[in-house]
Structure 1
Amino acid sequence: MNTDTMRERLIVGLDVPSVKEAETVVRDLGDAVSFYKIGYQLAFAGGLDFARELASDDDKKVFLDMKLLDIDNTVAKGVENIVRMGMTMLTIHAYPKAMKAAVEAAKGSGLTLLAVTVLTSMDERDVIDAGYEYDPHTLVLRRAEQALAAGMGGIVCSAEEAAAVRRIVGPDMAVVTPGIRPAGAAHGDQRRVVTPAQAIRNGSSHLVVGRPIVGAVDRRAAAHAILTEMRSA
């Protein structure tokens, strides 16, 4: 893979408390990064307007990590408005009815809908405590099958499960993996973590990296180091 291709596959998580800080991160990274994730923390601090502005830049893409789940009509109306915002990716919890409603609402647009399988902060005990009868790996694969059947554009899962998910969904669907940590980096609150190179080898199409870049003293250098590791795979 060339540098530009890997640049399109690295998504930096703007998990920061304010739009001002997010603007600083984007400015620090410059042309090293073109893809950003905006989740709850920033969204509820004015980040939705920021997401729209960022997406209006021809060289920037936005992954809106809202993990939608509600009755069908509510999910559909939300997705319709997110399409109008110009987002590139959007997460939906991998419940079959919610996914089908989202797919219908996004039909004909450029929005890639991603099915959230099992959060990378959850291990087997957490899944059992949540009332599921499956272990995390089995639950991820079951939801990947349901997402494929629903017509979703991709899957969000741990890179530990990416190879197995790729075998289910085939070569065309996105496999987006958070919980990425460079070798030697602290895991934080992530339980199922993988290095950038291993994630690429496992079949991940996009890697979401937050703290190892955003929390670095030299953010641009940290991003370049991760891109180098991705290319090494």
Structure 2
Amino acid sequence: MKQTSPIIALDFASREETFSFLNRFHGKKLFVKVGMELFYQEGPVILEQLMERDCQIFLDLKCHDIPTTVYKAMKRLARFGVSLVNVHAAGGKQMMEAALEGLEAGTSAGQKRPSLIAVTQLTSTSAEMLKDELLIEETLLHTVLHYSKLAKQAGLDGVVCSVHEAEHIRQTVSPDFLTVTPGIRLADDDKNDQMRVATPSYAKEKGVSAIVVGRSITQAIDPVQAYQKIALEWGGIRK
């Protein structure tokens, strides 16, 4: 999956806000990310409504629990017909294997199961946090690569990582392993609460599979123009 258009993070609190935003795109087919805030507020119906608009969906719930629970959760998520789902790699190899088994068990015959990726380290995680709060002595890069290798061994399709680790993952895990990268900002945008950020052009340079963009589009004065600017830069065209 080399995603040629940005995935828009629909970080809104309600259906009304979500579709008020999407209406500005006048029916354009988009790849969108539905996270915990929107999904927990609106439930599965929001996915149905987005698919009625021909949106592809990354359902970003970051499952992390015992293997049996994750298996059962993924078995049900598979029925929603989304394109992409994720778990936390920190749940371990057995949990990731159970997630994949659940997706396969829940996918109807003749249908393609959602791609499954594992979150390595959040882009809000700094080296200091890793050491001082999570008590992990290894470097961020070493930890991300280790989790990526576990995800590959578990049969997953790829990982969520920052742009800064994507090239290393392709080199040490597999050139075909998906690298889905949040923390994307235009050069003059604020970082907000994310530490490991990058521009769309830098993401392209590092060969990532897909970029996820939230506030740089959703909080822009003109979201459509911001989307187009990011899409052009992601595609290697600068104005």
Superposition TM-score, scaled by structure 1 size: 0.92
Q: 1:225 aligns with which of 222, 229, 238?
A: 229
Q: Cα distance 1:5–1:106, how it changes in 2: closer, same or farther (>3 A)?
A: closer
Q: Cα distance 1:172–1:227, how it changes in 2: closer, same or farther (>3 A)?
A: same
**1:97 — aligned with what?**
94
Cα offset, 1:33, TM superposition:
5.2
Matched residues, percent identical?
34
Q: 2:14 aligns with which of 11, 15, 18?
A: 18
Question: 3-state SS of the aligned residue for 1:6?
Answer: coil
Runs of 5+ unmatched residues, structure 2: none
Q: Is the 8 A contact 1:14 1:210 kept in 2?
A: yes
**2:134 — aligned with what?**
130
Question: 3-state SS of the aligned residue for 1:155?
Answer: strand
Q: Is the 8 A contact 1:175 1:205 kept in 2?
A: yes
Distance 1:111 1:150 in 2: 16
Question: 3-state SS of the aligned residue for 2:163?
Answer: coil
Q: Is the 8 A contact 2:170 2:176 kept in 1?
A: no
**1:113 — aligned with what?**
116
Q: Is the 8 A contact 2:204 2:236 kept in 1?
A: no
**1:39 — aligned with what?**
35
Q: Cα distance 1:186–1:83, how it changes in 2: closer, same or farther (>3 A)?
A: same
**1:184 — aligned with what?**
188
Q: Is the 8 A contact 1:178 1:209 kept in 2?
A: yes
Q: Cα distance 1:62–1:194, how it changes in 2: closer, same or farther (>3 A)?
A: same
Question: 3-state SS of the aligned residue for 2:159?
Answer: strand
Q: Is the 8 A contact 1:33 1:223 kept in 2?
A: no
Q: Is the 8 A contact 1:19 1:47 kept in 2?
A: no
Taking only aligned residues, the RMSD between alpha carbons, in angstroms, comes to 1.7
1:48-92 per-position Cα deviation (integer Å, ceiling 9, x unaligned): 3202321344x3111011110111111011111111011111110
Q: Which moved more, 1:104-113 or 1:36-45?
A: 104-113
**1:76 — aligned with what?**
71
**Counterpart of 1:36 in structure 2: which amino acid?**
V
**Counterpart of 2:167 in structure 1: which amino acid?**
A
Q: Is the 8 A contact 2:157 2:177 kept in 1?
A: yes
Q: 1:88 aligns with which of 66, 77, 83?
A: 83
Superposition TM-score, scaled by structure 2 size: 0.90
Cα offset, 1:173, TM superposition:
2.4
